[in-house]
Structure 1
Amino acid sequence: MVEFDKEKRRITGIGSVLVDILVHETDAFVEKAEAVKGGMTYVSPDHIEQAISEASDPPVMVPGGAACNTIIGVGRLGGEARFVGKSGNGQLAGLFESNLAASNVEPVLLKSPSLTGRVLSIITPDAQRSMLTYLGASAEVRAQEITPQHFEGTGIALVEGYLVFNPEIMRAALSAAKDAGARVALDLSSFTVVEEARGFLDEIVDTYVDILIANEDEARAFTGCSDEAEALRVLGEKADVAVLKVGERGSFIASRGTVLSVPPEGNGAVVDTTGAGDLWASGFLYGMVSGYSLGESGALGSLCGYEVCRVVGANIPEEGWDRIRSALK
């Protein structure tokens, strides 16, 4: 078991300030919008607006971004949570910041006059989501703006995998977290991210990462192994704790030569997988920093991941959190 300083229970996430724009559409819509099914593509804000204009129904807008989703989950679990990122001006920026505060998360938001970032998440009938992303102000973070003070009192620093597209910022975040004495967690975020930044990921994982989280597609792209057991073995050689999420079959956790199998939670219908991996990480990282065993942390991760799949979007409603808190008791 990885041990943490009892004085450092904070989980700090650093990543993109994004607002999720959710629409329910068909595979044909995904293709027409030039999205990658189940993946993520960077586009202009005009591209997103054009796709929205062709949607069947008005979209739903909620705060998003992979690291932010996870940190909001930590805050809702009652953990000490902080989020670091850069937002723009206007209504979307206000929506984002107010949601953080309402979710027991300390916002540490750098400001920009640019548009706030946004993601069009196209949810198809098979519950997959395909994302079109405009980073906007979130891409304007500068390396010198990130300091160890952002990670003060932090037990786990969650660094968003999408930051690999800006190596200078990624290195600055990782270095600042380590200088502050935090353990670094990295969620690989998307198989498309891994495919496009494979060499850089190898470098930073070997140098900085203590906790490495991946799903099946991401693990295959990162390790080159189609066999799950072999992929997990490779992941486990690169970090103190490695996680392989296998969807409805649960997850596997490797640490220092030991492998745990964590069964899935719940048996209800899956409505939308948006945020499933992010909220899984909420439960898992909260459990780790709170002194739970790896198995207990994985079980909490599975429960959070299941609850978010029962609703549209990455925000678990209050009744879902009530069920999670009851399970914790």
Structure 2
Amino acid sequence: MVDSSTRITGIGSALVDLLINETDGFLEALGKEKGGMTLVEHHDQEEILGRSTEKPVVVPGGAACNTIVGTAKLGGEARFIGMRGTDAYGDQYEAALRRFNVEPLFNVSTSTTGRVLSVITPDAQRSMFTHLGASVEMDPLKVLPELFTDTAIAVIEGYLLFNPDLMLASLKSAKAAGAKIALDLASFEVVEASRPILADIIADYVDILIANEDEAKAYTGFTDESAALKALSKNVDISVLKVGKRGSHVAANGRKIRIDPQKGKEAVDTTGAGDLWASGFLYGVAHGYSLEQSGKIGSACGYEVCQVVGAQVPDKAWDRIKQLL
């Protein structure tokens, strides 16, 4: 039976992840600052792949989709709204979501399905080169409140800020459907590019705001964790500051909560770490867990995804995470 009171619905870019392991020198030769995301064309991705001797690992991806898959793997009701191509990548993407017990609501384009090429350096950091493909063709006029029916929390992908009309349509429809809105700031490049509209969007629509250190600095101007968290808390019910290996901070109702990281092995790849942290945290919030416990679930999800290449956590790891529930 569907428990619509806890459903989490995500809207964002349907993107296939292509993952390669490379050196810092490889990244420097590309002129790319480590971390973050850069928009490129399809041929740019092919050129980068041509410079590498590594065969890419291919998995379903996209920030909001990673989060939604994680909530489904935890046993929650999950839905994803996006736009894909009619190519084999698009078919595989939708089929994978169904296997993961995610309800896919796709519009389909004759364009190619979007792809993200992630270059993973020896410190497990990933630097992303994104070709949005069909995902940019989502029509804001078709993003209606009924897509968010019976949704507790709507996860609005921060990358939609590159398309202000689509972002506003998503926010308005989710809010009209009665959902609480969670926004992850996605990357410092997104914050910098959307600065003219970001503060107003957060004040008018966002209930849960999530950022890492780089994103928080770009948005608030603060490097001090306490000051950044306080600034992130303005105009939202819950704010989250993720600080990597040091864990995370959550603020709500005047309280500041420190969430310790899960200890264990060193990270293999940080692809999807923030997305999966959000899976656990938002699952906990939607299901009535305390903020402390929700943060603990988020930390476990973030830790486990860092033990594999890509954002797909293996079933044995999900079994370990579910012990926290």
- Same fold by TM (over 0.5)? yes
TM-score normalized by the length of structure 2 = 0.98
Q: Is the 8 A contact 1:236 1:256 kept in 2?
A: no
Question: Could you report, residue by residue, the CA deviation over 1:71-127 in whole angstroms, capped at 9, with x for unpaired residues?
Answer: 000010000000000000111101211111111100001100001100000000010
Residue 127 of structure 2 is aligned with which of 126, 130, 141? 130
Q: Is the 8 A contact 1:21 1:62 kept in 2?
A: yes
TM-score normalized by the length of structure 1 = 0.96
**Structure 1 residues 1-329: aligned runs within 5 Å:** 7-328=4-325
In structure 2, C-alpha distance between the alignment counterparts of 1:179 and 1:35, rounded to whole Å = 40
In structure 1, C-alpha distance between the alignment counterparts of 2:85 and 2:32, rounded to whole Å = 25
CA RMSD in angstroms, aligned pairs only: 1.0
Partner of 1:3: none
In structure 2, C-alpha distance between the alignment counterparts of 1:200 and 1:30, rounded to whole Å = 31
- The aligned amino acid for 1:43 is V
Q: Is the 8 A contact 1:36 1:131 kept in 2?
A: no
1:327 is paired with a residue whose SS is coil
Identity rate, percent: 55
Q: Is the 8 A contact 2:20 2:120 kept in 1?
A: yes
Q: How many residues align?
A: 323
In structure 1, C-alpha distance between the alignment counterparts of 2:324 and 2:208, rounded to whole Å = 25
1:237 is paired with a residue whose SS is coil
In structure 2, C-alpha distance between the alignment counterparts of 1:65 and 1:178, rounded to whole Å = 22
Query: Cα distance, 1:7 vs. partner?
Result: 5.0
* Unmatched segments (≥5 aa) in structure 2: none
- The aligned amino acid for 1:253 is V
Question: Could you report, residue by residue, the CA deviation over 1:237-280 in whole angstroms, capped at 9, with x for unpaired residues?
Answer: 22100000111111110001110111111321211111000000
Q: How has the CA–CA distance of structure 1 residues 26 and 163 changed in structure 2, closer, same or farther, with 3 Å as cutoff? A: same
- The aligned amino acid for 1:258 is R
In structure 2, C-alpha distance between the alignment counterparts of 1:91 and 1:55, rounded to whole Å = 24
2:322 is paired with a residue whose SS is helix
Query: Cα distance, 1:283 vs. partner?
Result: 0.1
In structure 2, C-alpha distance between the alignment counterparts of 1:28 and 1:53, rounded to whole Å = 16
Q: Is the 8 A contact 2:4 2:77 kept in 1?
A: no
